Chain A
């Protein structure tokens, strides 16, 4: 069965096929959202939203891209939307706090611990995730898809709807920026 045939069947209400699609792709969707958002409950929310959208827009699927690319694209877009929403919320909270200072202690979110990192790399991975979190959105998505999802640049270009050259440059810049960011942590780490 081709990708298009599968999606047509899902659009017609084939529940079993939808479940098998979920079984096949939910893990990739969850892990990429988790790496971008660095928050387990938000990543689970994204998985839900992605598959609800897949179900609802199945009838519009033209088959121009593979299901894999399509699902990754929805995941990345929704994750970036969530990041923007988080930034907006943070900004408005900042302004509210300026006028309503109630002396309540500000709670900083703890550093992200990816559940799949091996124990001996936990400390380094925590530092790397902290640096990844400071990357611009596009660089972050390209880096996560390339280094953590292990996708080829051609597919990343299709997912992000950019040229392959642009993706290559995004990944390159992400690596340079990560090195710069890690350098800021260096004094604390080595002393």
Chain B
């Protein structure tokens, strides 16, 4: 019987418990977290600039490749490799 009494006493020890208060600056931290986690959306100007850069790079690469092709075929013509005959 005595055992039950002390257990009841312990189980009832949280009666009248006061609510604890967290750090008063918690909301500021939450706001900081929210703004840090916002996906960085690029401005329209930046998006157009990126697109222009990609186009420019593609055109340059294409031009460079076709120039290289022309140079190789010109060289082979000047050495007359196509008409080379082996003896």
B-side interface size class: 20 to 34
Majority secondary structure of chain B interface residues (helix, strand, loop or mixed): helix
A-side interface size class: 35 or more
Q: Which A residues touch B30, using CB under 8 A?
A: 22, 47-48, 51-52, 55
Q: Which B residues touch A52, using CB under 8 A?
A: 30, 33-34, 37
| A44: nearest chain-B partner, CB-CB | B22
Q: Given A22-B30, A52-B30, A182-B7, do A128 and B23 touch, yes or no (CB 8 Å)?
A: no
Q: Are A116 and B20 in contact (CB under 8 A)?
A: yes
Most-contacted residue by chain A among B20, B23, B27, B37 (CB, 10 A): B20
Q: Are B13 and A186 in contact (CB under 8 A)?
A: no
Output the least CB separation between B22 and chain A (Å). 4
Q: In chain B, residues 1-48, which have Cβ atoms closer than 8 Å to a Cβ of chain A?
A: 3, 6-7, 9-11, 13-14, 16-23, 26-27, 29-30, 33-34, 37
- In the assembled complex, A118 has its CB within 8 A of some CB on chain B: yes
Q: Which A residues touch B26, using CB under 8 A?
A: 26, 44, 47-48
State which of A27, A178, A179 has its C-beta within 8 Å of the C-beta of B19. Answer: A27
- In the assembled complex, A127 has its CB within 8 A of some CB on chain B: yes
Q: Are A148 and B10 in contact (CB under 8 A)?
A: no
Q: Which A residues touch B21, using CB under 8 A?
A: 27, 30
- In the assembled complex, A117 has its CB within 8 A of some CB on chain B: yes
Q: Are B20 and A47 in contact (CB under 8 A)?
A: no
Q: Given A52-B34, A56-B37, do A114 and B17 touch, yes or no (CB 8 Å)?
A: yes
A-B contact count (CB 8 A): 84
Q: Given A117-B14, A147-B14, do A19 and B20 touch, yes or no (CB 8 Å)?
A: no
Output the least CB separation between B14 and chain A (Å). 6
Q: Given A22-B27, A52-B33, A52-B37, do A148 and B20 touch, yes or no (CB 8 Å)?
A: no
- In the assembled complex, A175 has its CB within 8 A of some CB on chain B: yes
Q: Which B residues touch A19, using CB under 8 A?
A: 27
- In the assembled complex, A115 has its CB within 8 A of some CB on chain B: yes
> Hey, which bits of chain B sit against chain A, CB under 8 A?
3, 6-7, 9-11, 13-14, 16-23, 26-27, 29-30, 33-34, 37
The 5 A-B residue pairs with the shortest CB-CB distance, nearest first, are A116-B18, A124-B13, A121-B13, A30-B22, A125-B13
> Hey, which bits of chain A sit against chain B, CB under 8 A?
19, 22, 26-27, 30-31, 34, 43-44, 47-48, 51-52, 55-56, 114-118, 121, 124-125, 127-128, 131, 147-148, 175, 178-179, 182-183, 186, 189-190
Name 11 interchain pairs, CB-CB below 8 A, sorted by A. Answer: A19-B27, A26-B22, A27-B21, A47-B22, A114-B17, A116-B18, A117-B14, A124-B9, A125-B13, A128-B10, A175-B11
